[in-house]
Amino acid sequence: MKKFLLSLVSLLIIFQSQVNADEGMWIPLLIEKYNIQDMQAKGFKLDAEDIYSINQACIKDAIVIFGRGCTGELVSDQGLLLTNHHCGFGAIQKHSSVEHDYLKDGFWAMNKDQELPNPDLTVRFLNSIEDVTDAVLNGVTKDISEQERESIIKLNIEKIKTESVKDTTLIASIKPFYYGNQYFLFVYQEYKDVRLVGAPPSSIGKFGGDTDNWMWPRHTGDFSIFRIYADKNNNPAEYSPENVPYKPKKFLPISIKGINEGDFTWVIGYPGGTTQYITSDAIRLIKDVRNPNQIKLRDKRLEIMNRYMENNDTIRIKYASKNAGISNSWKRWKGEIIGLNRLDVINKKIELGNKFNTWANQNNRTEYIGVLDELSEIYSSIEEYAIAYDYWRESVLGIEIIDFVSDFDKIVKLAKSDVNSDELIEERDDLIKSSEKFFKDYVKSIDKETFEALIPLYYEDVNGKYHPNIENLDLNKSLNDYTDNLYEITIFTKKDKLIQLLSEGSKEEIAQLASDPVYGFYKEFSNIYNNLVYPVYDSLQTKSEKLYRSYMRGLQEMNPDKVYYPDANFTMRVSYGNVEGFTPRDAVEYNYYTTLDGVIEKDNPEIYDYDVPDQLKKVYNEKNFGRYAVNGTVPVCFIATNHTTGGNSGSPVLDAEGNLIGLNFDRAWDGIMSDMMFDPERSRNVTIDIRYLLFIVDKFAGARNLINEMTIIE
């Protein structure tokens, strides 16, 4: 009996060491194997098949990749979809003008005829996941080169993808896990008719702006509403007035029962990328070099943009989406530095590395001996190339006109070649469309100032061997004169002239774009990047991937009782935890929720991001909260210990029964370094409470038509 009890205790200890409810982004296919017992022990009321199944409708069938970098979820049998306001921001902005400022005033379709199409917006449903490691690595042996390995894997992947979706409209994707030690096949169905249904004004959907971004407490109603349309057979179709609302296999019921501290919660969605297993040298490069450089460059861009946007509504609308995109990573990088320092991550990684080396040496595991030393050498070599790489992306391509011109490389080459006219015509048409989009949201004066701010920083901070010799560019003289001349002469600031050339110009005339001064400026820098920077940077990255593959395999062998969750790579994952506040520093304690009272307290009409709409203040003063009221106010946001990252924006936050209780939209600043090291004491995902979302739709917007579509549990 004692022996039995001892064995049972040992098993429990092993299992507990395998899984931490707070940390991890788990593959739905493997929930039954690794997580379901722990989830259920912590309060989960469903089974693994309720999350992921290919035999029955399940929760994964209600979840979509929204656009190219967010998550969304279905909440009605008529294809109604929720995601974040910042995920729908681009679509909202494209429909906005000074006359119809949906960013400022919001948008609500009171019937389906008023819903707005978005030609470039798609959603993808996950059909299935399959472990295809053996098939992908077929023919790979230890004695082949990394280049041969990549070539074999590439051919295998294309073959598997082709066969898996043959004679269907499905889309296949194969992603590496654990640095290429394992591979999974993901099969999707894509829908292309996605229409805007509702969005609160930015004063709700983006309340607090960049000041509150990544912070807690939070009072942001970060949501937008779309609808998926299909053909009459419920199949994907391009936009058509004849399309009908999509009928999903599964949609999420909504619970307004409320939440309490300690409640089990979980998130299912598409986290974009994490690097949990990188070494101390990698952390140092990020924390001390790359993040500070990128922050400095974006400081300049944001200062210029913000100055123009503050005093001009037209510019504010044009640059709203760009500004949000630039500032999001800018603030995250700042938080990462603080968090990595606070957790002393470098020394913790060094300690782990020492343990790994000791284990490898003591056990004579020759395949792992020296791996970390080689990685350290690579990071020492890669630094100067990483700096040049980041400055190319953040300073040179951070200038809008240069980034725009980079799209013209292909047509210039085609115009100079003997290529057939069909390919040239196709490229013309694509560039005409992209040019229309570019000029719609382009302000030359902002771009000129940005050019004058960023180019000198490139020459100051990047090794001289990567400095192109630009004709007439003398940073010791008047850069302003050079920039004025450049922007005046180039065709790439003249919309009508450029589009006329693309539409009507001969091959010879299009080929003359190569002599344009802005195109020439871009080519001088791109030649440096393509010939001197990227090949070495990429080669070192490839070498590090091979070493990390070995290091990851070694870690798993060193700790065979520990389950290492794979880094995020924009594939469907499940994370789970509990509703919980936290203490960020001495004598400061954060509650787990915020309320509408806090929104009103922050009201400041003098500051755009804190200017509460009059209608919301009216509803608040009348206490017209309906069934969404709790203790005389309305819950707005809450936090929990679920492990999330970029891409999880818009992900459903669910209760133990699988009911929707909120939309994930952010992480708390104090735990923002969780992409590299999770801190259970401070890492928190930030969620808009579903009750606030419904309150805004119902009592603020009066869109009862949308409320009536949803299944709401009281």
Residues designated catalytic: 86, 222, 649
DSSP reduced 3-state for 189: strand
What count of other Cβ atoms lies within 10 Å of the Cβ of residue 478?
10
Q: Facing residues of 228 across strands?
A: 194
Total residues found in the chain within this entry? 714
Structure tokens that stand for 197 in this block: 């249904």
Residue given tokens 């199409």 in the structure block: 117
Render 393-442 in DSSP notation, one character per residue: IIIITTSHHHHHHGGGHHHHHHHHS---HHHHHHHHHHHHHHHHHHHHT-
DSSP reduced 3-state for 143: coil
What count of other Cβ atoms lies within 10 Å of the Cβ of residue 485?
12
CB 540 within 8 A of CB 378: yes
Continuous H helices in 170-226 = 202-205, 209-212
Residue 179: in which H helix or E strand, if any?
none
User: Rounded distance, CA 653 to CA 190, Å?
Assistant: 23
Q: Facing residues of 640 across strands?
A: 579, 685
What count of other Cβ atoms lies within 10 Å of the Cβ of residue 651?
32
Helices 313-342 and 85-94, packing angle to 10 deg? 160
**Strands 652-654, 660-667: pairing kind:** antiparallel
Sequence-distant (6+) residues with CB within 8 A of 571 are 27, 129, 173, 175, 184, 186, 270
**Strands 254-255, 171-177: pairing kind:** unpaired
- In degrees and rounded to multiples of 5, residue 139 shows phi and psi of 95, -10
User: Rounded distance, CA 544 to CA 379, Å?
Assistant: 9
User: Rounded distance, CA 390 to CA 401, Å?
Assistant: 18
CB 27 within 8 A of CB 571: yes
Residue 81's nearest CA partner among 53, 118, 44 is 118
CB 572 within 8 A of CB 186: yes
Sequence-distant (6+) residues with CB within 8 A of 466 are 388, 528, 529, 532, 533
* Cis peptide, bond prior to residue 236, ω within 30 of zero: no
Structure tokens that stand for 199 in this block: 């969005």
**Strands 712-713, 254-255: pairing kind:** parallel
Which residue type does 12 have? Answer: L
For 301-334, b/e burial (b = at least 16 CB within 10 A) is bbebbeebbeeeeebbbbbbbbbbebbbbbbbbb
DSSP reduced 3-state for 119: coil
What count of other Cβ atoms lies within 10 Å of the Cβ of residue 190?
14
Which residue type does 526 have? Answer: S
SS3 content of the chain, % helix, strand, coil (to 5): 50, 15, 30
633: which DSSP letter?
A: B
CA-to-CA dists, residue 281 to 257, 285, 287, 372, angstroms: 48, 6, 10, 10
Sequence-distant (6+) residues with CB within 8 A of 512 are none
For 355-365, b/e burial (b = at least 16 CB within 10 A) is ebbebbeeeee
